[in-house]
Amino acid sequence: MIRRPEGVDSRIPPVLRPEHPSPRPLALLAQEFGLEHTGSLDGVELTGVTLSTQDLHPGDLYVGVPGANSHGARYAPRAAEGGAVAVLTDAEGAALAADSGLPILLVDDPRHALGEVSAWVYRTDENLPLLFGTTGTNGKTSTSYLLEGVLRQLGLVTGLSSTSERHVGDLTVVSRLTTPEASEMHALLARMREAGVRAVAVEVSAQALIWHRVDGIVFDVVGFTNLSHDHLDEFHYDMEEYFRAKLPLFEPEHGKRGVVSLDTSWGQRVVDASRIPVTTIATAGVAAAQDLAAAEWKVEILEEAAAYTEFRLTGPDGRSLVTREPLIGWHMAANAALAIVMLVEAGFELEAIGAALDTDGGIVAYLPGRTERVSGEHGPSVYVDFGHSPDAFENTLGAVRRFTPGRTIMLFGADGDRDASKRHEMGRVAAELSDILVITDHHPRFEDPASIRATLLEGARLAEHQPEEIYEVSPPEEAIKKAVSLAKEGDSILWAGPGHQDYRDIRGVRTPYSARELARAALHEAGWA
Protein backbone atom coordinates (compact mmCIF):
# COMPACT_ATOMS: atom_id res chain seq x y z
CA MET A 1 0.00 0.00 0.00
CA ILE A 2 1.34 3.43 -0.96
CA ARG A 3 0.71 6.13 1.63
CA ARG A 4 0.01 9.59 0.25
CA PRO A 5 0.03 12.72 2.45
CA GLU A 6 -3.29 14.53 2.71
CA GLY A 7 -3.91 17.23 0.13
CA VAL A 8 -1.68 15.73 -2.55
CA ASP A 9 -3.29 15.45 -6.00
CA SER A 10 -3.87 11.75 -6.74
CA ARG A 11 -2.80 12.37 -10.37
CA ILE A 12 0.73 13.24 -9.23
CA PRO A 13 2.83 10.06 -8.93
CA PRO A 14 3.68 9.20 -5.32
CA VAL A 15 7.12 9.23 -3.74
CA LEU A 16 8.04 5.68 -2.76
CA ARG A 17 9.47 5.42 0.76
CA PRO A 18 10.39 2.54 3.05
CA GLU A 19 7.30 1.20 4.81
CA HIS A 20 9.18 0.53 8.03
CA PRO A 21 11.78 3.29 8.46
CA SER A 22 14.30 3.10 11.30
CA PRO A 23 14.29 6.37 13.31
CA ARG A 24 17.63 8.15 13.58
CA PRO A 25 18.50 10.76 16.26
CA LEU A 26 18.71 14.34 15.00
CA ALA A 27 21.51 15.03 17.51
CA LEU A 28 23.59 12.21 15.98
CA LEU A 29 23.09 13.67 12.47
CA ALA A 30 24.35 17.05 13.68
CA GLN A 31 27.30 15.40 15.41
CA GLU A 32 28.39 13.16 12.53
CA PHE A 33 28.17 15.96 9.94
CA GLY A 34 29.54 18.65 12.28
CA LEU A 35 26.51 20.90 11.78
CA GLU A 36 25.72 24.08 13.66
CA HIS A 37 22.16 24.27 14.91
CA THR A 38 19.56 26.31 16.71
CA GLY A 39 16.93 24.92 19.06
CA SER A 40 17.03 21.74 21.10
CA LEU A 41 17.88 18.46 19.33
CA ASP A 42 17.25 16.29 22.39
CA GLY A 43 14.85 13.41 21.81
CA VAL A 44 14.13 14.37 18.18
CA GLU A 45 14.13 11.40 15.79
CA LEU A 46 14.04 11.44 11.99
CA THR A 47 12.25 8.90 9.80
CA GLY A 48 12.44 10.66 6.44
CA VAL A 49 13.67 13.63 4.38
CA THR A 50 11.74 15.89 2.00
CA LEU A 51 12.11 19.08 -0.05
CA SER A 52 8.35 19.49 -0.47
CA THR A 53 5.55 20.11 2.00
CA GLN A 54 3.27 18.19 -0.40
CA ASP A 55 5.29 15.00 0.13
CA LEU A 56 5.86 15.51 3.84
CA HIS A 57 5.35 12.73 6.40
CA PRO A 58 5.39 13.06 10.19
CA GLY A 59 8.96 12.64 11.43
CA ASP A 60 10.53 14.23 8.35
CA LEU A 61 13.55 16.48 8.13
CA TYR A 62 12.35 19.37 5.96
CA VAL A 63 15.09 20.73 3.69
CA GLY A 64 14.72 24.36 2.61
CA VAL A 65 16.68 25.16 -0.56
CA PRO A 66 16.92 28.46 -2.46
CA GLY A 67 14.62 28.46 -5.49
CA ALA A 68 14.18 30.56 -8.62
CA ASN A 69 11.26 32.50 -7.10
CA SER A 70 11.47 31.94 -3.35
CA HIS A 71 13.42 30.12 -0.66
CA GLY A 72 12.01 26.76 0.39
CA ALA A 73 12.64 27.59 4.05
CA ARG A 74 9.80 30.09 3.80
CA TYR A 75 7.46 27.10 4.03
CA ALA A 76 8.99 25.72 7.23
CA PRO A 77 5.94 26.72 9.36
CA ARG A 78 3.72 24.75 6.99
CA ALA A 79 6.14 21.82 7.24
CA ALA A 80 5.91 21.99 11.05
CA GLU A 81 2.11 21.84 10.82
CA GLY A 82 2.44 18.74 8.63
CA GLY A 83 4.63 16.89 11.13
CA ALA A 84 8.19 17.86 10.20
CA VAL A 85 10.46 17.63 13.26
CA ALA A 86 13.45 19.69 12.04
CA VAL A 87 14.72 21.93 9.24
CA LEU A 88 17.99 21.73 7.28
CA THR A 89 18.82 24.95 5.44
CA ASP A 90 21.37 27.72 4.88
CA ALA A 91 21.82 30.99 6.79
CA GLU A 92 19.23 32.84 4.70
CA GLY A 93 16.78 29.99 5.17
CA ALA A 94 17.41 29.84 8.91
CA ALA A 95 16.07 33.38 9.28
CA LEU A 96 12.99 32.49 7.23
CA ALA A 97 12.37 29.27 9.20
CA ALA A 98 12.85 30.80 12.66
CA ASP A 99 9.10 31.17 13.27
CA SER A 100 8.46 27.45 12.63
CA GLY A 101 9.47 26.50 16.16
CA LEU A 102 11.53 23.61 14.79
CA PRO A 103 15.22 22.97 15.49
CA ILE A 104 17.30 24.16 12.54
CA LEU A 105 20.49 22.57 11.17
CA LEU A 106 22.78 24.86 9.17
CA VAL A 107 24.74 24.03 6.00
CA ASP A 108 26.30 26.25 3.33
CA ASP A 109 24.48 24.56 0.42
CA PRO A 110 21.40 22.50 1.42
CA ARG A 111 20.90 21.02 -2.05
CA HIS A 112 24.51 19.85 -2.18
CA ALA A 113 24.13 18.31 1.30
CA LEU A 114 20.80 16.63 0.52
CA GLY A 115 22.21 13.40 -0.92
CA GLU A 116 24.64 12.62 1.90
CA VAL A 117 22.10 13.56 4.57
CA SER A 118 19.38 11.45 2.92
CA ALA A 119 21.79 8.51 2.66
CA TRP A 120 22.43 8.82 6.41
CA VAL A 121 18.75 9.09 7.35
CA TYR A 122 17.66 6.17 5.14
CA ARG A 123 20.88 4.17 5.77
CA THR A 124 21.45 3.79 2.04
CA ASP A 125 25.17 4.00 2.58
CA GLU A 126 25.10 0.35 3.67
CA ASN A 127 23.85 -3.03 2.38
CA LEU A 128 22.51 -1.78 -0.94
CA PRO A 129 21.61 -3.91 -3.99
CA LEU A 130 23.81 -3.88 -7.09
CA LEU A 131 23.42 -0.43 -8.67
CA PHE A 132 23.61 0.32 -12.41
CA GLY A 133 23.44 3.91 -13.72
CA THR A 134 23.10 4.89 -17.38
CA THR A 135 23.53 8.32 -18.92
CA GLY A 136 23.58 9.78 -22.45
CA THR A 137 21.23 11.76 -24.67
CA ASN A 138 19.26 8.88 -26.18
CA GLY A 139 18.94 5.28 -25.03
CA LYS A 140 19.11 5.82 -21.25
CA THR A 141 15.58 4.57 -20.69
CA SER A 142 15.83 1.69 -23.16
CA THR A 143 19.15 0.50 -21.74
CA SER A 144 17.73 0.63 -18.20
CA TYR A 145 14.65 -1.42 -19.12
CA LEU A 146 16.67 -3.94 -21.13
CA LEU A 147 19.18 -4.27 -18.30
CA GLU A 148 16.37 -4.87 -15.81
CA GLY A 149 14.82 -7.41 -18.19
CA VAL A 150 18.02 -9.46 -18.36
CA LEU A 151 18.44 -9.28 -14.57
CA ARG A 152 14.96 -10.71 -14.15
CA GLN A 153 15.75 -13.48 -16.62
CA LEU A 154 18.77 -14.25 -14.45
CA GLY A 155 16.36 -14.76 -11.54
CA LEU A 156 16.93 -11.56 -9.56
CA VAL A 157 14.33 -9.35 -7.89
CA THR A 158 14.87 -5.98 -9.55
CA GLY A 159 14.29 -2.27 -9.17
CA LEU A 160 14.11 0.46 -11.80
CA SER A 161 14.13 4.25 -11.85
CA SER A 162 13.54 5.76 -15.27
CA THR A 163 11.83 8.62 -17.09
CA SER A 164 8.77 6.39 -17.44
CA GLU A 165 8.39 4.41 -14.23
CA ARG A 166 9.73 3.33 -10.87
CA HIS A 167 9.78 -0.43 -10.19
CA VAL A 168 10.18 -2.08 -6.80
CA GLY A 169 9.92 -5.78 -7.56
CA ASP A 170 6.37 -6.18 -8.92
CA LEU A 171 5.26 -2.71 -7.80
CA THR A 172 5.16 -0.04 -10.53
CA VAL A 173 4.43 3.69 -10.28
CA VAL A 174 4.71 6.45 -12.89
CA SER A 175 7.74 8.73 -12.61
CA ARG A 176 7.76 12.46 -11.94
CA LEU A 177 11.33 13.26 -13.02
CA THR A 178 13.86 11.27 -15.05
CA THR A 179 15.97 11.00 -11.89
CA PRO A 180 14.21 11.78 -8.57
CA GLU A 181 15.42 14.43 -6.15
CA ALA A 182 18.17 13.06 -3.90
CA SER A 183 15.82 12.68 -0.93
CA GLU A 184 13.36 10.70 -3.09
CA MET A 185 16.14 8.63 -4.66
CA HIS A 186 17.46 7.48 -1.29
CA ALA A 187 13.93 6.80 -0.02
CA LEU A 188 13.32 4.69 -3.15
CA LEU A 189 16.53 2.72 -2.64
CA ALA A 190 15.59 2.10 1.00
CA ARG A 191 12.17 0.84 -0.13
CA MET A 192 13.85 -1.43 -2.68
CA ARG A 193 16.22 -2.88 -0.09
CA GLU A 194 13.27 -3.45 2.26
CA ALA A 195 11.47 -5.34 -0.55
CA GLY A 196 14.41 -7.69 -1.18
CA VAL A 197 15.52 -6.09 -4.45
CA ARG A 198 18.96 -7.37 -5.46
CA ALA A 199 19.80 -5.17 -8.46
CA VAL A 200 18.64 -1.73 -9.59
CA ALA A 201 18.83 0.04 -12.98
CA VAL A 202 18.79 3.84 -12.76
CA GLU A 203 18.50 6.35 -15.60
CA VAL A 204 20.77 9.29 -14.77
CA SER A 205 20.17 12.57 -16.59
CA ALA A 206 22.61 15.47 -16.92
CA GLN A 207 20.21 17.55 -14.81
CA ALA A 208 20.39 14.91 -12.08
CA LEU A 209 24.16 15.30 -11.94
CA ILE A 210 24.01 19.10 -12.03
CA TRP A 211 21.38 19.23 -9.27
CA HIS A 212 23.09 16.60 -7.09
CA ARG A 213 20.19 14.11 -7.35
CA VAL A 214 22.48 11.07 -7.21
CA ASP A 215 24.79 12.42 -4.53
CA GLY A 216 25.49 9.89 -1.81
CA ILE A 217 25.18 7.02 -4.34
CA VAL A 218 28.08 5.01 -5.78
CA PHE A 219 26.98 2.85 -8.71
CA ASP A 220 28.66 -0.52 -9.18
CA VAL A 221 28.65 0.03 -12.96
CA VAL A 222 27.81 3.15 -14.99
CA GLY A 223 27.14 3.30 -18.72
CA PHE A 224 27.30 5.97 -21.45
CA THR A 225 25.14 5.61 -24.59
CA ASN A 226 25.77 8.67 -26.79
CA LEU A 227 25.60 12.45 -26.94
CA SER A 228 23.62 14.56 -29.41
CA HIS A 229 21.79 17.89 -29.58
CA ASP A 230 19.32 18.20 -26.69
CA HIS A 231 18.61 20.54 -23.77
CA LEU A 232 20.74 23.34 -25.25
CA ASP A 233 19.59 26.82 -24.10
CA GLU A 234 17.33 25.03 -21.62
CA PHE A 235 20.05 23.65 -19.31
CA HIS A 236 23.33 23.98 -21.23
CA TYR A 237 24.90 26.75 -23.31
CA ASP A 238 26.51 24.42 -25.83
CA MET A 239 27.50 20.81 -26.48
CA GLU A 240 30.76 21.19 -24.55
CA GLU A 241 28.92 22.19 -21.40
CA TYR A 242 26.35 19.41 -21.95
CA PHE A 243 29.21 16.91 -22.31
CA ARG A 244 30.90 18.10 -19.13
CA ALA A 245 27.62 17.73 -17.24
CA LYS A 246 27.70 13.96 -17.93
CA LEU A 247 31.24 13.36 -16.69
CA PRO A 248 30.65 13.31 -12.89
CA LEU A 249 29.04 9.87 -13.31
CA PHE A 250 32.50 8.60 -14.30
CA GLU A 251 34.19 9.79 -11.13
CA PRO A 252 34.82 7.64 -8.01
CA GLU A 253 32.17 9.59 -6.08
CA HIS A 254 29.48 8.10 -8.34
CA GLY A 255 30.83 4.98 -10.06
CA LYS A 256 33.18 2.05 -9.54
CA ARG A 257 33.44 0.85 -13.16
CA GLY A 258 32.13 2.11 -16.48
CA VAL A 259 31.06 0.92 -19.93
CA VAL A 260 31.24 3.50 -22.72
CA SER A 261 29.76 3.28 -26.22
CA LEU A 262 32.04 4.60 -28.96
CA ASP A 263 29.18 4.86 -31.48
CA THR A 264 29.47 8.66 -31.27
CA SER A 265 32.74 10.61 -31.12
CA TRP A 266 31.83 11.77 -27.60
CA GLY A 267 32.38 8.23 -26.31
CA GLN A 268 36.16 8.36 -26.64
CA ARG A 269 36.14 11.71 -24.89
CA VAL A 270 34.27 10.14 -21.96
CA VAL A 271 36.94 7.40 -21.86
CA ASP A 272 39.72 9.99 -21.88
CA ALA A 273 38.11 12.03 -19.08
CA SER A 274 36.98 9.09 -16.92
CA ARG A 275 38.50 8.77 -13.47
CA ILE A 276 37.30 5.17 -13.05
CA PRO A 277 38.20 1.99 -15.00
CA VAL A 278 36.14 1.72 -18.20
CA THR A 279 35.58 -0.79 -20.96
CA THR A 280 34.36 0.18 -24.43
CA ILE A 281 31.77 -1.07 -26.91
CA ALA A 282 31.00 -0.12 -30.52
CA THR A 283 28.53 -1.11 -33.23
CA ALA A 284 29.75 -2.27 -36.64
CA GLY A 285 28.54 0.01 -39.41
CA VAL A 286 27.82 2.84 -36.97
CA ALA A 287 31.00 3.69 -35.08
CA ALA A 288 33.93 5.24 -36.91
CA ALA A 289 36.39 2.61 -38.18
CA GLN A 290 39.12 3.54 -35.71
CA ASP A 291 36.66 3.48 -32.79
CA LEU A 292 35.26 0.10 -33.82
CA ALA A 293 38.80 -1.30 -34.06
CA ALA A 294 39.69 0.10 -30.62
CA ALA A 295 36.54 -1.07 -28.84
CA GLU A 296 36.93 -4.04 -26.49
CA TRP A 297 33.37 -5.23 -27.19
CA LYS A 298 31.80 -5.23 -30.65
CA VAL A 299 28.16 -5.40 -31.73
CA GLU A 300 27.16 -6.83 -35.10
CA ILE A 301 23.56 -6.59 -36.30
CA LEU A 302 22.55 -9.96 -37.75
CA GLU A 303 18.85 -9.50 -38.52
CA GLU A 304 16.35 -6.67 -38.29
CA ALA A 305 12.64 -7.49 -38.18
CA ALA A 306 9.49 -5.61 -37.23
CA ALA A 307 9.29 -7.45 -33.90
CA TYR A 308 12.95 -7.80 -32.92
CA THR A 309 16.59 -7.11 -33.73
CA GLU A 310 19.11 -9.95 -33.57
CA PHE A 311 22.76 -9.18 -32.84
CA ARG A 312 26.09 -10.74 -31.96
CA LEU A 313 28.12 -9.36 -29.06
CA THR A 314 31.80 -10.30 -29.07
CA GLY A 315 34.14 -9.68 -26.15
CA PRO A 316 37.86 -8.96 -25.88
CA ASP A 317 38.74 -12.63 -25.34
CA GLY A 318 36.75 -13.84 -28.34
CA ARG A 319 33.73 -14.98 -26.31
CA SER A 320 30.49 -14.12 -28.01
CA LEU A 321 26.75 -14.15 -27.51
CA VAL A 322 23.97 -14.09 -30.10
CA THR A 323 20.55 -12.95 -28.97
CA ARG A 324 17.54 -10.78 -29.80
CA GLU A 325 15.95 -7.73 -28.22
CA PRO A 326 12.22 -7.02 -28.72
CA LEU A 327 12.42 -3.65 -30.51
CA ILE A 328 13.15 -2.40 -34.00
CA GLY A 329 16.37 -0.66 -34.93
CA TRP A 330 20.12 -1.12 -34.63
CA HIS A 331 20.17 1.51 -31.87
CA MET A 332 18.03 -0.71 -29.65
CA ALA A 333 20.42 -3.62 -30.21
CA ALA A 334 23.29 -1.31 -29.26
CA ASN A 335 21.43 -0.39 -26.05
CA ALA A 336 20.84 -4.07 -25.26
CA ALA A 337 24.50 -4.93 -25.86
CA LEU A 338 25.59 -2.06 -23.60
CA ALA A 339 23.31 -3.41 -20.87
CA ILE A 340 24.81 -6.90 -21.19
CA VAL A 341 28.38 -5.60 -20.95
CA MET A 342 27.41 -3.58 -17.86
CA LEU A 343 26.24 -6.87 -16.31
CA VAL A 344 29.52 -8.56 -17.23
CA GLU A 345 31.42 -5.70 -15.61
CA ALA A 346 29.34 -6.25 -12.47
CA GLY A 347 30.52 -9.85 -12.27
CA PHE A 348 27.90 -11.84 -14.19
CA GLU A 349 29.27 -14.50 -16.54
CA LEU A 350 28.57 -13.92 -20.25
CA GLU A 351 27.82 -17.64 -20.62
CA ALA A 352 25.21 -17.52 -17.85
CA ILE A 353 23.59 -14.47 -19.46
CA GLY A 354 23.55 -16.22 -22.83
CA ALA A 355 21.98 -19.37 -21.37
CA ALA A 356 19.20 -17.38 -19.68
CA LEU A 357 18.44 -15.46 -22.88
CA ASP A 358 18.51 -18.62 -25.03
CA THR A 359 15.91 -20.19 -22.74
CA ASP A 360 13.51 -17.30 -23.39
CA GLY A 361 14.34 -16.73 -27.06
CA GLY A 362 16.07 -13.41 -26.36
CA ILE A 363 15.68 -10.47 -24.00
CA VAL A 364 12.22 -10.21 -22.46
CA ALA A 365 11.37 -6.59 -21.71
CA TYR A 366 8.48 -4.18 -22.18
CA LEU A 367 9.50 -0.59 -22.83
CA PRO A 368 6.48 1.74 -22.50
CA GLY A 369 6.38 4.39 -25.20
CA ARG A 370 9.60 3.32 -26.92
CA THR A 371 8.66 2.58 -30.54
CA GLU A 372 5.60 0.94 -29.01
CA ARG A 373 3.21 -0.51 -31.58
CA VAL A 374 -0.39 0.31 -30.60
CA SER A 375 -2.16 -0.91 -33.76
CA GLY A 376 -3.70 -4.26 -34.64
CA GLU A 377 -2.80 -6.95 -37.17
CA HIS A 378 -4.61 -5.21 -40.04
CA GLY A 379 -4.38 -1.67 -41.32
CA PRO A 380 -1.54 0.80 -40.86
CA SER A 381 1.08 0.18 -38.19
CA VAL A 382 1.06 2.92 -35.56
CA TYR A 383 4.05 3.44 -33.27
CA VAL A 384 4.16 5.76 -30.27
CA ASP A 385 7.63 6.91 -29.25
CA PHE A 386 9.12 9.19 -26.59
CA GLY A 387 11.93 10.42 -28.85
CA HIS A 388 12.12 14.22 -28.94
CA SER A 389 15.52 15.06 -30.46
CA PRO A 390 16.79 15.13 -34.06
CA ASP A 391 19.04 12.12 -33.43
CA ALA A 392 16.18 10.10 -31.94
CA PHE A 393 14.00 10.97 -34.93
CA GLU A 394 16.69 9.84 -37.37
CA ASN A 395 17.23 6.48 -35.68
CA THR A 396 13.58 5.64 -35.08
CA LEU A 397 12.23 6.87 -38.40
CA GLY A 398 14.98 4.98 -40.21
CA ALA A 399 14.04 1.78 -38.37
CA VAL A 400 10.31 2.21 -39.06
CA ARG A 401 10.94 2.88 -42.78
CA ARG A 402 12.87 -0.38 -43.15
CA PHE A 403 9.81 -2.41 -42.16
CA THR A 404 7.15 -0.36 -43.91
CA PRO A 405 6.12 -1.66 -47.34
CA GLY A 406 4.01 1.45 -47.91
CA ARG A 407 4.47 5.05 -46.86
CA THR A 408 5.92 6.38 -43.61
CA ILE A 409 3.84 9.08 -41.92
CA MET A 410 5.51 11.18 -39.23
CA LEU A 411 3.47 12.97 -36.55
CA PHE A 412 5.20 15.12 -33.95
CA GLY A 413 5.35 18.37 -32.00
CA ALA A 414 7.92 20.04 -29.76
CA ASP A 415 8.10 21.07 -26.12
CA GLY A 416 7.38 24.65 -25.21
CA ASP A 417 9.73 26.53 -22.86
CA ARG A 418 12.44 24.01 -23.73
CA ASP A 419 15.44 23.94 -26.06
CA ALA A 420 14.18 25.89 -29.08
CA SER A 421 17.51 25.57 -30.90
CA LYS A 422 16.78 21.98 -31.94
CA ARG A 423 13.34 22.67 -33.51
CA HIS A 424 14.57 23.44 -37.04
CA GLU A 425 16.66 20.26 -37.06
CA MET A 426 13.75 18.19 -35.71
CA GLY A 427 11.57 19.47 -38.56
CA ARG A 428 14.28 18.90 -41.16
CA VAL A 429 14.99 15.30 -40.10
CA ALA A 430 11.29 14.46 -39.85
CA ALA A 431 10.69 15.80 -43.36
CA GLU A 432 13.79 14.13 -44.82
CA LEU A 433 12.78 10.63 -43.69
CA SER A 434 8.97 10.66 -44.02
CA ASP A 435 6.59 10.46 -46.95
CA ILE A 436 3.87 12.45 -45.20
CA LEU A 437 4.48 14.86 -42.32
CA VAL A 438 1.92 16.03 -39.78
CA ILE A 439 3.09 18.74 -37.36
CA THR A 440 1.09 19.30 -34.20
CA ASP A 441 1.46 20.33 -30.54
CA HIS A 442 3.18 18.59 -27.65
CA HIS A 443 3.69 20.30 -24.26
CA PRO A 444 3.23 24.00 -25.12
CA ARG A 445 3.64 25.02 -21.47
CA PHE A 446 3.57 28.83 -21.48
CA GLU A 447 4.65 29.25 -25.12
CA ASP A 448 2.35 29.98 -28.03
CA PRO A 449 1.82 26.56 -29.70
CA ALA A 450 1.27 28.18 -33.10
CA SER A 451 4.73 29.76 -32.90
CA ILE A 452 6.31 26.38 -32.05
CA ARG A 453 4.57 24.73 -35.01
CA ALA A 454 5.71 27.54 -37.31
CA THR A 455 9.35 26.94 -36.38
CA LEU A 456 8.99 23.20 -36.97
CA LEU A 457 7.45 23.89 -40.37
CA GLU A 458 10.36 26.20 -41.25
CA GLY A 459 12.73 23.38 -40.37
CA ALA A 460 10.77 20.88 -42.47
CA ARG A 461 11.08 23.12 -45.51
CA LEU A 462 14.88 23.09 -45.12
CA ALA A 463 14.93 19.37 -45.94
CA GLU A 464 16.58 18.37 -49.21
CA HIS A 465 13.92 15.69 -49.62
CA GLN A 466 10.43 17.09 -49.22
CA PRO A 467 7.56 14.80 -48.19
CA GLU A 468 4.66 14.26 -50.57
CA GLU A 469 2.42 16.19 -48.19
CA ILE A 470 2.93 18.39 -45.11
CA TYR A 471 0.09 19.24 -42.73
CA GLU A 472 -0.20 21.44 -39.67
CA VAL A 473 -2.97 20.20 -37.38
CA SER A 474 -3.84 21.33 -33.86
CA PRO A 475 -4.60 19.97 -31.30
CA PRO A 476 -2.92 16.52 -31.35
CA GLU A 477 -6.28 14.80 -30.77
CA GLU A 478 -7.21 15.96 -34.29
CA ALA A 479 -3.71 15.45 -35.68
CA ILE A 480 -3.70 11.69 -35.04
CA LYS A 481 -7.13 11.42 -36.69
CA LYS A 482 -5.71 13.23 -39.71
CA ALA A 483 -2.66 10.95 -39.85
CA VAL A 484 -4.83 7.82 -39.65
CA SER A 485 -7.19 9.16 -42.33
CA LEU A 486 -4.22 9.47 -44.69
CA ALA A 487 -2.90 5.97 -43.99
CA LYS A 488 -3.56 2.78 -45.92
CA GLU A 489 -2.83 -0.89 -45.38
CA GLY A 490 0.96 -1.30 -45.33
CA ASP A 491 1.66 2.27 -44.22
CA SER A 492 3.25 3.18 -40.87
CA ILE A 493 2.61 6.15 -38.59
CA LEU A 494 5.29 7.20 -36.11
CA TRP A 495 3.95 9.54 -33.42
CA ALA A 496 7.06 10.91 -31.76
CA GLY A 497 7.21 12.83 -28.49
CA PRO A 498 4.46 11.73 -26.09
CA GLY A 499 5.51 8.09 -25.66
CA HIS A 500 4.43 6.79 -22.27
CA GLN A 501 3.24 10.14 -20.88
CA ASP A 502 -0.37 10.47 -19.72
CA TYR A 503 -0.69 14.26 -19.76
CA ARG A 504 0.05 17.45 -21.68
CA ASP A 505 1.47 20.50 -19.94
CA ILE A 506 -0.71 23.44 -21.01
CA ARG A 507 0.04 26.69 -19.16
CA GLY A 508 1.23 24.79 -16.10
CA VAL A 509 -1.77 22.44 -15.96
CA ARG A 510 -1.32 18.69 -16.48
CA THR A 511 -4.16 17.90 -18.87
CA PRO A 512 -5.00 14.14 -19.02
CA TYR A 513 -3.89 12.77 -22.36
CA SER A 514 -2.72 9.42 -23.75
CA ALA A 515 -1.21 9.12 -27.21
CA ARG A 516 -1.71 5.36 -27.09
CA GLU A 517 -5.44 5.62 -26.41
CA LEU A 518 -5.91 8.48 -28.88
CA ALA A 519 -4.17 6.45 -31.59
CA ARG A 520 -6.29 3.38 -30.89
CA ALA A 521 -9.47 5.48 -30.90
CA ALA A 522 -8.50 7.08 -34.24
CA LEU A 523 -7.85 3.65 -35.75
CA HIS A 524 -11.20 2.37 -34.47
CA GLU A 525 -13.02 5.42 -35.81
CA ALA A 526 -11.38 4.86 -39.21
CA GLY A 527 -12.63 1.27 -39.26
CA TRP A 528 -9.40 -0.53 -38.36
CA ALA A 529 -9.74 -3.09 -35.60
Q: Average pLDDT, stretch 313-325?
A: 96
In this prediction, residues 39-60 reach a mean pLDDT of: 96
Please give the share of the chain, as a percent, with pLDDT higher than 70.
95
Rounded Cα distance, 422 and 375, in Å: 30
User: Pick from 311, 328, 360: which residue ends a domain?
Assistant: 360
Q: How far, in Å, CA of 263 to CA of 284, rounded? A: 9
What per-residue confidence (pLDDT) applies to 8?
46
| pLDDT for res 234 | 52
Domain match, 200 and 322 both = yes
- What is the extent of the structural domain holding 401? 372-525
Model confidence over 124-142: pLDDT tens digits?
988 999 999 999 999 999 9
465-500 pLDDT tens trace: 999 999 999 999 999 999 999 999 999 999 999 888
Among 325, 360, 395, residue at a domain's last position: 360
**pLDDT exceeds cutoff 70 at 149:** yes
Domain CATH code at residue 505: 3.90.190.20
Single-letter amino acid code for the residue at 417? D
pLDDT of residue 452: 97
Shortest CA distance to 79 belongs to which of 89, 90, 64, 67? Answer: 64
Do residues 233 and 97 share a domain?
no
- Greatest C-alpha distance within the chain: 74
Q: Are residues 434 and 507 in the same domain?
A: yes
Do 80 and 165 reside in the same domain of the chain?
A: no
Answer yes or no: are the C-beta atoms of 363 and 150 closer than 8 Å. Answer: yes
How confident is the model over 177-199, as pLDDT tens digits? 667 899 999 999 999 999 999 99
| Residues 224 and 104 occupy one common structural domain | no
Please confirm whether the linkage preceding 475 is cis (ω < 30° from 0): yes
- The band of 306, judged by pLDDT with boundaries at 50, 70 and 90, is confident
pLDDT at 434 over 90: yes
pLDDT-derived band at 163 (thresholds 50, 70, 90) equals confident
Comparing CA positions, the residue from 411, 497, 402 lying closest to residue 460 is 411
Average pLDDT, the chain: 93
Q: Cα–Cα distance between 240 and 321 in angstroms, integer?
A: 36
How many domains does the chain contain in total? 3
